[in-house]
Amino acid sequence: MKEWVEALKEYKVLLGEPEKEELKRISYDSRKAEAGDLFLCMKGSKLDSHDKIPELLEKGVRLFVVEKELEDLPVELGKTEGLSVIKVENARAALARLSACYFHYPAKEMLMIGITGTKGKTTTASMVRSILEEAGYRTGLIGTTGIDYAGIHEESRNTTPESYTLQETFRKMKEAGCDAVVMEASSQGFKMHRTDEILFDYGIFTNIEEDHIGENEHKDFQEYKYYKSMIFKQSKQGLINMDADFADEFWKNAACPCHGFAIEKKADFQAKNIENLRQDDFIGTRFDFVHGEEVESIFNHLPGEYNVYNALAAISIASLLKIPMDKVKSALSKIQVNGRMEVTLQRNGYTVIVDYAHNAMGMKNLLQTLKAYHPKRLIVVFGCGGNRSKERRYGMGEVAGEMADFTILTADNSRYEKTEDIIHDIETTLTKKTDKYIAIPDRREAIFYALKHAKRGDLIAVIGKGHEEYNEVNGEFTRFVDREVILEEAAKLD
């Protein structure tokens, strides 16, 4: 029997002798399928690729994995010779199993660290990767900002890519010399079986709040929480933020040994004596990392308490891996995460930060964090995406009105709406709280205005786009990176 058939574990042969067929290539997109491929048919929310079988047969595909019985499949199957068809209960799970087999189980050849949570995944992953690389690990990174390894960057549509892409990426990382992978493991990744066949050496849980609930996501919070907890069924060891909501529940139900980290509660790893630090060339935090009798003073080059949690998770993993503390300190003292509380410019006594905050909750958390640094003025530059819920605009307008000393309203992926109309919606709640704002629809001009009028002691937050590298208007994408524009406009002032 062929190895790939055994990898399916549970299956039913409907036609032919698949056990004798070679696995030459895997396809699950009918547009890209070729003769000789094994094609997996899936029932999606909008498309059922079982319906594509007739055109796949015309392309020369003769090996299928399906989710339906023979009588429920297109009649063309019964009229075509030389077919092999296998039925499985879940084609997405089958795709993960076949992909891991096809690429020869690359995840087993590297140190695997998975991170899940509502907030903090991207920053924590970047911190863990930075520490690992400082310690000599050649490390790949997979997450919201894309795929990075060995100087290569690839874009990704999903925080956790499809299982085939994951396994293919692991193999490419290994062949490029990587011996470790740090990846964000989303709840959708677990639900859609993208992470199947991965056993993490360490699984990290950062926190959980109500999010990603709705059509094509999770039906309710209970389901969302369940899939977050799946990381501890796929890890050798777990690491849990014990200050997070439902942490005790996650700990109790974990299927692997776990360690805890916390600021407030007692845990294996703790952060104490937290200080916010701001100088002309530094903004961040200092805290004591406490593990048993060990106490180390840590400088984190990312501001805010929630970044202390992210750093604490990363240091805890480093401690479990017995990475020397001087390597940890060096990595965290210079960490930068694209679009996540990213200190982009410090000059003339003011600081400019880029952040991905793009809803009221994220914006409130960000502005609360920045206020703790007691800026002379807290200035926020933001807009809202077009063709999205107007509630986001109203919420962000209200938060800006309550918390910012001055607001500059501008564009942010207006899509098929007029930027001026979006700004008007934001103004309906903003103006109930303040009159200290200006509207400048052109985002570049808005950033220049903020820099030109900045004063010593100001903190300027340019938010909403974060790591994004484009601006979307009427279906057209043009390059626009907040970080780059800030530096370009600052150069004009020089």
User: Strands 406-409 and 437-439, how do they pair?
Assistant: parallel
165 annotated as ligand-binding: no
118 annotated as ligand-binding: yes
78 annotated as ligand-binding: no
Best CA proximity match to 267, nearest among 302, 318, 313, 325: 313
**Contacts of residue 391, Cβ cutoff 8 Å, sequence gap at least 6:** none
286 within 8 A of 275, measured Cβ to Cβ: yes
Measured distance CA(274)–CA(302) in Å, rounded: 13
461 within 8 A of 283, measured Cβ to Cβ: no
**Contacts of residue 164, Cβ cutoff 8 Å, sequence gap at least 6:** 26, 28, 95, 99
3-state class (DSSP) for residue 387: coil
Measured distance CA(172)–CA(102) in Å, rounded: 13
159 annotated as ligand-binding: yes
Structure-block tokens of residue 470: 């484009």
User: Strands 258-262 and 235-241, how do they pair?
Assistant: parallel
27 annotated as ligand-binding: no
**Contacts of residue 292, Cβ cutoff 8 Å, sequence gap at least 6:** none
Question: 281 exposed, middle or buried (CB, 10 Å; 0-12, 13-18, 19+)?
Answer: exposed
Measured distance CA(17)–CA(85) in Å, rounded: 8
160 annotated as ligand-binding: yes
Q: Which helix (H) or strand (E) holds 123?
A: helix 121-134
60 annotated as ligand-binding: no
Measured distance CA(51)–CA(201) in Å, rounded: 40
Phi/psi region, residue 475 (left: phi>0; alpha: psi -120 to 50; beta: rest), is left
**Locate tokens 């990704």: which residue?**
156
**Locate tokens 């107007």: which residue?**
390
119 annotated as ligand-binding: yes
Backbone angles phi and psi of 199, in degrees to 5: -110, 110
Measuring CA to CA, how many Å separate 448 from each of 366, 376, 453, 454?
A: 22, 19, 9, 10
407 annotated as ligand-binding: no
Binding site residue list: 30, 117-123, 158-160, 186, 194
Binding site residue list for ATP: 117-123
